[in-house]
Amino acid sequence: MADIHIRKEGRAGRITLTRPKALNALSYEMCLAIDAALKAWAEDDTLALILIDAEGEKAFCAGGDIAQMYATGVTGDYSYGRRFWLDEYRMNARLAEYRKPVVSFLQGFVMGGGVGVGCHASHRIVGETSQIAMPECGIGLVPDVGGSWILARAPGALGAYLGLTGARMGPGDAIRAGFADLFVAQDQWEGVKAQLVATGDVAALKGAPAPHATLAAHQDVIDAAFGQDNLAAIAQAIGQIDSAFAAKTLHALQRNSPLAMACTRAMLRNLGAGGRIRDALAQEYRFTWRAMEHADFLEGIRAAIIDKDRSPRWRHATLADVTEAEVAAMLATLGPDELTFDIVEEGQR
């Protein structure tokens, strides 16, 4: 497949995303190819680890390729999107629960679907250019691909802040928030990869001190505001603070989908720090299964990607308009359509 290069090399199973002109956006076919490789390599004793990287300097993977999802969704056909999310989430769980070490190298933009491929690895490497984010609320979706699982375990209310605003994390913040493990200068990456391939030993990974985590200075404000009971209270708390950080945060809250943000907040609270990735993915799937018909996803894509007018007409005019009943309905069980997994139970994370 031209969009992804999958091969065995030395002691490593290698997966390289090869769509740099499209910022390595993840297609449905790429998801299936990654999952098939992970299945095939699980019992391959010649491989000691999995190495995931991407071509190009701008992005490891800036998100999912949602053009076909939108094209089918606006006709009232939601089956393609639901199948994409179903198989993608199963692949995300397989990565997170994999019994061999998985090493990912995360340059440039790592967003949405890119988080699902790169940030569930057991050893996640960031460098100088890394910019990680879960910006889904800006298109009427919730942080998915298991991203809500990472957000729920971030320090204090940092996960709620990142999930609701879609704020980007540099390498230091990504490590602090739990989206990455090691900082390695990017001019050393090829040498490190060569060692991993030759030896199959993750001892080759030696990180440098992590860069400053800029969001740490705002943790008290984040905790005070994003620990509030509802979106309106969060916005009110932020609005009372006179700072550039508070103003930027309030703007993000006023820009993003109220329904998506309310559901994101509920999902993180439901998970807590002790939730499993399967619990997170199941919640995410309940929302995304309904997203095109009952939420703001199609309108968000229209405004951001199709018409590019940046003026989405959300279902709710204000943050206070979303009811608890609406949130509960979006996250209710899907019955026979619930997300299931074909992965062995041992070693779940």
What's the pLDDT score for residue 207? Answer: 86
CA distance 341 to 276: 13
102-106 and 123-126 strand pairing: parallel
What is the rounded distance in angstroms from the CA atom of residue 169 to the CA atom of residue 177? Answer: 9
Q: Closest Cα to residue 104, out of 180, 6, 208?
A: 180
Q: How many CB atoms lie within 10 A of CB 284?
A: 29
Which residues are within 8 A (CB) of 130 and not within 5 positions of it... i.e. 6 or more apart? 60, 106, 107, 108, 110, 170, 171, 174, 180
Distance CA 161, CA 73 (A): 29
Report whether 122 contacts 49 (CB < 8 A).
Answer: no
Residue 53 · residue 16 · CB < 8 Å:
yes
The CATH class given to the 4-205+215-337 domain equals: alpha beta
The pLDDT value recorded for residue 257 is 98
CA pair distance 125, 190, nearest whole angstrom = 12
Polymer length of the chain: 349
Q: Are 124 and 115 in contact (CB under 8 A)?
A: no
Match 């460098």 to its residue by tokens: 127
Q: Which two tokens stand for residue 132?
A: 């990680």
Query: What whole-number distance in Å separates Cα of residue 303 and Cα of residue 114?
Result: 22
Per-residue model confidence (pLDDT) at position 273:
83
Catalytic residue ranges: 64, 113, 136, 144
- Looking at residue 84, its pLDDT comes to 97
Instruction: Classify residue 114 by its DSSP letter.
Output: H
Q: What is the C-alpha to C-alpha distance for residues 116 and 112, in angstroms, rounded to an integer?
A: 7
The residues pairing with 169 across neighbouring beta strands, listed in sequence order, are 132
Q: Is 52 helix (H, G, I), strand (E, B) or coil?
A: strand
* 3-state SS class at 303: helix
Tens of pLDDT, residue by residue, the chain (349 residues): 789 999 999 999 999 999 999 999 999 999 999 999 999 999 999 999 999 999 999 999 999 888 889 999 999 999 999 999 999 999 999 999 999 999 999 999 999 999 999 999 999 999 999 999 999 999 999 999 999 999 999 999 999 999 999 999 999 999 999 999 999 999 999 999 999 999 999 999 998 888 999 999 999 999 999 999 899 999 999 999 999 999 999 999 999 999 999 999 999 999 998 889 999 999 999 999 999 999 999 999 999 999 999 999 999 999 999 999 999 999 999 999 999 997 654 445 5
* pLDDT for residue 345: 45
